[in-house]
Structure 1
Amino acid sequence: MTSTLPAVTAAKVPAQRRPAPTTRPTDRTEPPRRLRSSRPDLLLCGVLLVAILVVQGWNIADYPTLSDDEGTYLAQAWAVQEGRGLAHYTYWYDHPPLGWIQIALLTWIPSLVSPGSMTVGSMRLVMLAVSAVSAVLVFVLARRLALPRWAAGLGMALFGLSPLSVVLQREIFLDNLAVMWTLLAFCLAASPSRHLWHHFGAGIAAAAAVLTKETMLVVLPAVVVTMWRHGHRDTRKFALTGAVTACVLIGFSYPLFALLKGELFPGGGHVSLWDGIKYQMSRPGSGFILDPGSGSYGVLHSWLYYDRVLPLGGLAGAVLLLATWRWSVTARALAGPALAVAVLALVAMRPSGYLPAMYVIGALPFLALVLAGATASVAHAVLRRRRGEGENRYVTGGRYALAAVLVLAAGAYVVPRWYDGDRTAVTADANAPYRAASRWLSTEVADPAGTRVLVDDALWLDLVHAGYRPGLGVIWFYKADLDPAVTRTMPHGWRDLDYVVASPTVRRDAADLPAVQDALRHSTPVATFGTGEDRIEIRQIETVAGGPR
């Protein structure tokens, strides 16, 4: 037996309007509750990730030029792997050691398989894993901050494919690892599920970021803002207290480490954390960033040489979002990243501050996010829906035409410049002089084990693998002046050396190192690789009579 519902006549139910939607359109889309449940998100993120890894990985060992900082961090990681302590020389408290401990873990398997391959050029490949994680975290964070899918993809592409990012993210810098931990802290702070352990995890990740590179400390207020905005009203204060407590307790492990070693305060015969902090706070500044005669101005222009779109566009995007914070939902959602950009910009503009070239790495993900968010906000303003009294009316063809013109204009400006910059990164060979110098010192010196040579750290591990004695045979040039454990082995100064490798770094920094100056002054080039300021000279130390040994 079947039953049917009774028919409803017009007399029983009066005609009425179709109910209007209960929600109002906004300039953002709702974030997916789980990224893995959204196939379009996964597809877009995966395609962009492959593109980023190809561009960043291609020619990674040959461009950019090897830097002394890269060699230092890798040599310190090698010392950790070899059980030689926290550094390949006397560890002093310039940076917390967590950064190169992570590098040691990343390079452990490659060095185990092929110990001789643990050199700066080849080990740059491990940075691809860090770049991959960071790029995915940028996409996840953008979606959790309610950016539409296309804007999240734009932010990921800006972060991973900008020529400035390609150059700096290839290098073995602590900043790249610290950015990964900072992005993880933001993602946990913006978790849509609002679990308390996510907020505690954000505090732990923030502490790991600071212990990797201490400059990330200035970004922590932005993490707090993000956590406050995305936390549940009933548990917000408790979650924030727990996150701050976790961050502070883990952060205090560094001074506790120094205290337990008896190296917290200065004393006879040992380094100290206090001296390290005092050095960092009192080191000569590089001048005001907008003063054409300052070192900071040169650093700024080195960034803009690679890319103007991400630094300047991201800064403009942050200003736009902060200015429209009261009435723009997108601006409020991106308050944390916009605040991070503002704080990092203000720190960089200190008239007496020191501005290293890798400083901008900490700002790259936030510049990308706010630029993508500002673009989404402007796009909504141009293409927003208009609601009539009884029906929805979509944007007119003129608005779409205007949007198309803006997109084409932006593409016409950005694509050629990024193409040139990225093409240089995947084709240029900037490290041929280093490879040639390493090969010469490995094959032309008769007794590597009995030879003493000053080098920058970019070549240090190469020569260790070639048979030179680590620490006393192959000597990081700074230590000839600054480490008593090394200077004690050089009672006759430059006369106790056989060679000095005059790389651009050695020639530049020798002005403040008397022993290195003497070695350069009393040596004769026996091999030169490259030309101009980028050349590398292998100089043999002269005998007392004035001739080469």
Structure 2
Amino acid sequence: MTSTLPAVTTSTVPAQRRPAPEVRSADRTPPPARLRSSRLDLLLCGALLAAILVVQGWNISAYPTLSDDEGTYLAQAWAVQQGKGLAHYTYWYDHPPLGWLQLALLTWIPSALDPGAMTVGTMRLAMLLISAVSAVLVYVLGRRLSLPRWAAGLAMALFGLSPLSVVLQREIFLDNIAVMWLLLAFCLAASPSRHLWHHFGAGLAAAAGVLTKETMLVVLPALLVTMWRHSHRDTRKFALTGAVTACALAGFSYPLFALLKGELLPGSGHVSLWDGVTYQMTRPGSGFILDRGTGSYGVLQSWLYYDRVLPLGGLVGALLLLATWRWSVTARALAGPALTVAILAALALRPNGYLPAMYVIQALPFLALVLAAGTASAAHAVLRRWRAEGERRLVTGGRYALAAVLAVAAGAYVVPRWYDGDRTAVTADANAPYRAAATWLGSEVENPGDTRVLVDDALWLDLVHAGYRPGLGAIWFYKADLDPAVTKTMPHGWRDLDYVVASPTVRRDAVDLPNVKAAIEHSAPVATFGTGPDRIEIRRIQQAAVGGAR
């Protein structure tokens, strides 16, 4: 703030009444008012963004392996583009639809130019835009939470270049889009200008995050903490009230949508929001995350396989920040991100909770921020000790020496591990079996328009583009047992099918799906792509078993 007092010389003010010079905490660097006002910030952020986009974009369609969830969200976006409703089958309130509505917008132009490009591997490129925005928001949030420039850059690099981030952010997951909205909400909540509209905007952005992936709801308390700390005391009540109101009003649009469609509560002949929420809350757990042999333990090991530094280092950093928030300026500034990590970790540690592989996505930016903040605090602690010991002459040069030591130590441990993980991401081809299966089904089946195939959603759009009828010819395998609109077209069950594409997902989940299981048991492979548990088998329903039923 610029002073309005006239300038005076030292001699005109009595010594005992001179104002004390402002003392700035050693572990707090004031952020720039706006990112664009600092050329160094722009250069650093731009250089890191270029590196992130190269690493995440190179080989994006070939690694990691296509997942059924990716195919489902993209197929739902395709249905929106085609005017076929909110999903390619009966929409049953599994997730709010805002996520794939955004996907539909992101993929609209490329799909209009080349309809055949609307497949999972190709449309992963749309996720680069989400990754780019999220990475920049991590940097902006770090600066607004008073991290020094180098620490904000470290957080951005941790978020965007960790092998765990590279793998998960490439995939078409709603979580990646929701995280972008949550980061925007945090940035608005921590705005240094403290305008009321920033807090209203934070509430709307938070609502967009929740309506993209409902699990973001658990992060909102941490957002309120950030907003409380960064709002002006005189307008804090208005700011918080406005943010909560904006978030609630936008969020209530989802149950209002269900109410207007007559699908809020269970009833005969229709799906309901209540049933969808009940399913999500009562789905079988995957076991305790630290018990060997449980599904949750397997998910944890899959995260640590790609990167141990970001998940474990970030968790430790968050706990330390929360433990020292009373006397550490950095800990108080980072209270929101640290609390976010703590909340997500506590939910993951539920004794028998359900833990999906993409769960860690919502924690990645906050893990990066608290780990970078912990590194900055350690560096400043060393500098303070040097000052306390009277070695002031070493402070200026010591900054560079300390930075060099930290960089060498971190590099010796992190770089070899990250190099191996990122090299795999930019060179491996995990999706050759999927491409080969799609090619075979498009070229070897004589009359795809009259052929009925059970397939997972990772291949569903490939078959639609190859001429199979959406929903009747190319059938998402779950729907053959779970959707009455599909089962009524199969009066003889599995006997009304021609092929089943037994991908790893189909084989795994067929145990609980009678029609799918029977189709696999009464079929023989006519083409196999890949080997071992990752193979994809195209199996023809055995006509001898079908007999004259069709």
1:114 aligned to 2:125? no
Structure-2 separation of matches of 1:85 and 1:371: 43
Structure-1 separation of matches of 2:414 and 2:388: 38
Task: Give the superposition deviation at 1:407.
Answer: 3.1
Structure-2 separation of matches of 1:300 and 1:396: 42
Q: 1:90 corresponds to which residue?
A: 90
Q: 2:284 corresponds to which residue?
A: 284
Task: Give the superposition deviation at 1:404.
Answer: 4.0
1:302 aligned to 2:313? no
Matches within 5 A, 1:149-188: 149-188=149-188
Q: 2:482 corresponds to which residue?
A: 482
1:425 aligned to 2:422? no
Q: 1:238 corresponds to which residue?
A: 238
Structure-1 separation of matches of 2:268 and 2:308: 49
1:472 aligned to 2:485? no
1:521 aligned to 2:521? yes
Cα separation, partners in 2 of 1:526 and 1:15, compared to 1, 3 Å: closer
1:197 aligned to 2:197? yes
Q: 2:495 corresponds to which residue?
A: 495
Aligned AA (1:307): D
Q: 2:543 corresponds to which residue?
A: 543
Residue 539 of structure 1 aligns to a residue in which SS?
strand
Q: 2:531 corresponds to which residue?
A: 531
Task: Give the superposition deviation at 1:420.
Answer: 0.3
Please say if residues 382 and 403 of structure 1, whose CA atoms lie closer than 8 Å, have aligned partners that are also in contact: no
Please say if residues 255 and 273 of structure 1, whose CA atoms lie closer than 8 Å, have aligned partners that are also in contact: yes
Structure-1 separation of matches of 2:159 and 2:396: 33
Q: 2:316 corresponds to which residue?
A: 316
Q: 1:135 corresponds to which residue?
A: 135
Task: Give the superposition deviation at 1:383.
Answer: 2.1
Please say if residues 495 and 546 of structure 2, whose CA atoms lie closer than 8 Å, have aligned partners that are also in contact: no
Task: Give the superposition deviation at 1:403.
Answer: 5.8
Aligned AA (1:34): R
Structure-1 separation of matches of 2:184 and 2:114: 32
Aligned AA (1:260): L
Task: Give the superposition deviation at 1:387.
Answer: 5.4
Task: Give the superposition deviation at 1:382.
Answer: 1.2
Please say if residues 481 and 487 of structure 1, whose CA atoms lie closer than 8 Å, have aligned partners that are also in contact: yes
Matches within 5 A, 1:405-416: 405-416=405-416
Aligned AA (1:225): V
Residue 63 of structure 1 aligns to a residue in which SS?
coil
Cα separation, partners in 2 of 1:266 and 1:398, compared to 1, 3 Å: closer
Task: Give the superposition deviation at 1:394.
Answer: 4.3
Residue 501 of structure 2 aligns to a residue in which SS?
strand
Cα separation, partners in 2 of 1:339 and 1:384, compared to 1, 3 Å: same
Q: Show CA shifts across 1:40-99 (max 9, x none).
A: 000000000000000000000000000000000000000000000000000001100000
Task: Give the superposition deviation at 1:356.
Answer: 0.2
Residue 234 of structure 2 aligns to a residue in which SS?
coil
Q: 1:451 corresponds to which residue?
A: 451
Q: 1:59 corresponds to which residue?
A: 59
1:344 aligned to 2:344? yes
Task: Give the superposition deviation at 1:204.
Answer: 0.1
Task: Give the superposition deviation at 1:15.
Answer: 12
Task: Give the superposition deviation at 1:402.
Answer: 6.2
Task: Give the superposition deviation at 1:319.
Answer: 1.0
Compute the RMSD of aligned alpha carbons.
2.3
Task: Give the superposition deviation at 1:336.
Answer: 0.2
Structure-2 separation of matches of 1:19 and 1:279: 64
Q: 2:6 corresponds to which residue?
A: none
TM-score by length of 2: 0.94
Structure-2 separation of matches of 1:14 and 1:252: 62
Cα separation, partners in 2 of 1:242 and 1:539, compared to 1, 3 Å: same
Task: Give the superposition deviation at 1:540.
Answer: 0.2
Q: 1:4 corresponds to which residue?
A: none
Structure-1 separation of matches of 2:501 and 2:393: 72
Cα separation, partners in 2 of 1:542 and 1:162, compared to 1, 3 Å: same
Aligned AA (2:172): I
Structure-2 separation of matches of 1:22 and 1:100: 51
Which runs of 5 or more structure 2 residues have no equivalent in the other structure? 1-10
Residue 268 of structure 1 aligns to a residue in which SS?
coil
1:258 aligned to 2:258? yes
Cα separation, partners in 2 of 1:519 and 1:389, compared to 1, 3 Å: closer
Please say if residues 385 and 393 of structure 1, whose CA atoms lie closer than 8 Å, have aligned partners that are also in contact: no
Task: Give the superposition deviation at 1:22.
Answer: 2.5
Structure-1 separation of matches of 2:115 and 2:204: 33
Structure-2 separation of matches of 1:34 and 1:475: 51
Cα separation, partners in 2 of 1:116 and 1:397, compared to 1, 3 Å: closer
Structure-1 separation of matches of 2:214 and 2:268: 27
Structure-2 separation of matches of 1:196 and 1:215: 27
Task: Give the superposition deviation at 1:34.
Answer: 1.3
Cα separation, partners in 2 of 1:247 and 1:12, compared to 1, 3 Å: closer
Structure-2 separation of matches of 1:104 and 1:15: 68
* Percent of aligned pairs sharing the same letter: 84
Q: Show CA shifts across 1:458-492 (max 9, x none).
A: 00000000000000000000000000000000001
Residue 124 of structure 2 aligns to a residue in which SS?
helix
Task: Give the superposition deviation at 1:544.
Answer: 3.2
Cα separation, partners in 2 of 1:403 and 1:181, compared to 1, 3 Å: closer
Structure-2 separation of matches of 1:161 and 1:12: 57
Please say if residues 62 and 428 of structure 1, whose CA atoms lie closer than 8 Å, have aligned partners that are also in contact: yes
Aligned AA (2:367): L
TM-score by length of 1: 0.95
Cα separation, partners in 2 of 1:200 and 1:528, compared to 1, 3 Å: same
Structure-2 separation of matches of 1:125 and 1:24: 45
Residue 234 of structure 1 aligns to a residue in which SS?
helix
Which runs of 5 or more structure 1 residues have no equivalent in the other structure? 1-10
Aligned AA (2:159): F
Residue 319 of structure 1 aligns to a residue in which SS?
helix
Cα separation, partners in 2 of 1:481 and 1:220, compared to 1, 3 Å: same
Aligned residue pair count: 538
Task: Give the superposition deviation at 1:324.
Answer: 1.1
Please say if residues 383 and 398 of structure 2, whose CA atoms lie closer than 8 Å, have aligned partners that are also in contact: no
Q: 2:77 corresponds to which residue?
A: 77
Q: 1:217 corresponds to which residue?
A: 217
Structure-2 separation of matches of 1:21 and 1:261: 65
Structure-2 separation of matches of 1:255 and 1:488: 29
Aligned AA (1:456): D
